[in-house]
């Protein structure tokens, strides 16, 4: 069993998480002897997914261009024989590399800048990884006969008029707004994935990921939780956008990874929502973080970002029925683990 980063409180619990999978209705499909490609593998969520796959005994190739990912997230795996890290931009095509020359059993397309600040700084890169890279990976999966899992997003629902959001809801998306590069890139990726499934008979899956948090988030990535925690630990004002009444359901990364693995193993196509139904307002989230950090920070309010959704909460009925998925980490527990990670990282 590879060692996990001592700075990562997320999960020495991988063993417990993985053992719980066997109690679910989905049998473990990928393990020793299987080769898995994870794009964006040094990023926040994908690096935890890599940990879980390595813990299963899979041979994992993580591909990352380090635009938003960090080698630090997978540094603890670099000496693991079943792990290979390849630095490359998948939007330029799969590079010539020995680790990429052999067939893969599954390809998990997790790569994409995903924070609000990225939408402004990296718009073309986001569009390319959602389009050019997705098509290249679908071609590779077809050639390999691999299962292809596409990491989509709750952003596909835009600013939803249906609440909670079911997979059958088509969304309410501004196609030319500041967030549109991410929303539409993911919607294109979903369409491409389904096109390959229908026309090429490719074994595919789509997971729609809702707001996720945990260790390995970038402190400066612009999302609410890392921003609030960083501010609270410094004793700086907590900057809530708008009135703070807008809501999100926040999912701890270990729960999300468990859901992704269940979908990967299941053979189901989706799309399937993955997240948690525990919904809270941004004001409540800020106040909770201030309290858990034992901080003197005051909550302040700034101009709300354009196209910021009013509410987000997944309907998890399909995930429960198809996968037996149930998130288990409470917001307080997950936030405490995340705060501890940031406390160590920020000194």
Distance of CA 285 to the CA centre of its chain: 20
Could you tell me the pLDDT band of residue 308, with boundaries at 50, 70 and 90?
confident
- The pairing of strands 212-213 and 251-252 is parallel
Query: CA 330, 331, 334 angle in degrees (round to 5)?
Result: 85
Summarize the confidence of residues 100-120 as an average pLDDT. Answer: 95
**Entry pTM:** 0.91
Query: Is 14's pLDDT higher than 70?
Result: no
Q: Are 262 and 289 in contact (CB under 8 A)?
A: no
> Which residues fall within 8 angstroms of residue 79, CB to CB, at 6 or more apart?
none
Domain coordinates in residue numbering, the chain: 35-214+251-277+310-329
- Measured at the CA of 211, the angle between CA 280 and CA 205, to 5 degrees, comes to 135
Quote the pLDDT of residue 17: 43
The reported pLDDT for the residue numbered 208 is 99
Nearest to 70 by CA among 99, 93, 40: 40
Which tokens go with 123?
Answer: 């718009």
The CATH superfamily assigned to 35-214+251-277+310-329 is NAD(P)-binding Rossmann-like Domain (3.40.50.720)
Residue 111 has pLDDT above 50, yes or no: yes
Confidence tier at 25 by pLDDT (50, 70, 90): low
Q: What is the mean pLDDT of residues 1-19?
A: 37
pLDDT above 80: residue 43:
yes
Positions marked active-site: 182
Tell which wins on pLDDT, 24 or 44: 44
Pairing of strands 204-209, 212-213: unpaired
Question: What pairing do the DSSP bridges indicate for beta strands 247-249 and 279-281?
Answer: antiparallel
Residue pLDDT, tens place only, 112-128: 999 989 999 999 999 99
309 or 175, greater pLDDT: 175
Residues of the chain above pLDDT 70, percent: 93
Average pLDDT over residues 243-252: 94
Phi, psi of 116 (to 5 degrees): -55, -35
The share of the chain scoring above pLDDT 90, in percent, equals 86
What are the tens digits of pLDDT across the range 202-245? 999 999 999 999 999 998 888 999 999 999 999 999 999 999 99
Q: What is the mean pLDDT of the chain?
A: 92
- Token pair 């060692």: residue: 3
């Amino acid at each position: 069993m590879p060692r996990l980063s001592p700075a990562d409180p997320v999960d020495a619990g991988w063993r417990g998480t993985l053992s719980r999978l066997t109690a679910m209705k989905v049998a473990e499909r990928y393990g020793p002897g299987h080769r898995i490609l994870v794009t964006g593998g040094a990023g926040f969520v994908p690096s935890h997914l890599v940990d879980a796959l390595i813990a299963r005994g899979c041979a994992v190739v993580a591909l990352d261009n380090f635009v938003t990912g960090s080698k630090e997230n997978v540094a603890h795996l670099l000496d693991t024989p079943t792990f290979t890290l390849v630095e490359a931009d998948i939007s330029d095509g799969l590079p010539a590399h020995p680790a990429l020359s052999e067939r893969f059993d599954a390809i998990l397309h997790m790569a994409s800048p995903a924070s609000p600040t990225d939408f402004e700084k990296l718009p073309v890169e986001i569009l390319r990884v959602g389009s050019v890279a997705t098509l290249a990976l679908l071609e590779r999966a077809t050639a390999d006969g691999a299962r292809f899992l596409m990491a989509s997003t709750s952003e596909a629902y835009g600013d939803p008029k249906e609440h909670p959001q079911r997979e059958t809801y088509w969304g309410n998306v501004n196609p030319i707004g500041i967030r549109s590069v991410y929303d539409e890139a993911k919607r294109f990726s979903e369409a491409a994935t389904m096109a390959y499934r229908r026309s090429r008979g490719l074994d595919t899956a789509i997971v729609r990921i809702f707001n996720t948090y945990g260790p390995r988030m970038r402190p400066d990535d612009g999302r609410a939780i890392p921003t609030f925690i960083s501010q609270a630990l410094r004793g700086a004002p907590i900057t809530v956008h708008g009135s703070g009444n807008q809501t999100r359901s926040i999912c701890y990364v270990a729960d999300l990874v468990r859901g992704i693995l269940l979908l990967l193993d299941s053979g189901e196509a989706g799309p399937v929502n993955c997240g948690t139904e525990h919904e809270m307002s941004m004001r409540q989230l800020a106040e909770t973080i201030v309290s858990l950090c034992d901080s003197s920070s005051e909550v302040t309010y700034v101009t709300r970002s354009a196209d910021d959704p009013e509410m987000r909460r997944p309907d998890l009925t399909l995930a429960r029925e198809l996968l037996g998925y149930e998130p288990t980490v409470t917001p307080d527990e997950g936030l405490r683990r995340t705060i501890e990670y940031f406390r160590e990282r920020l000194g």
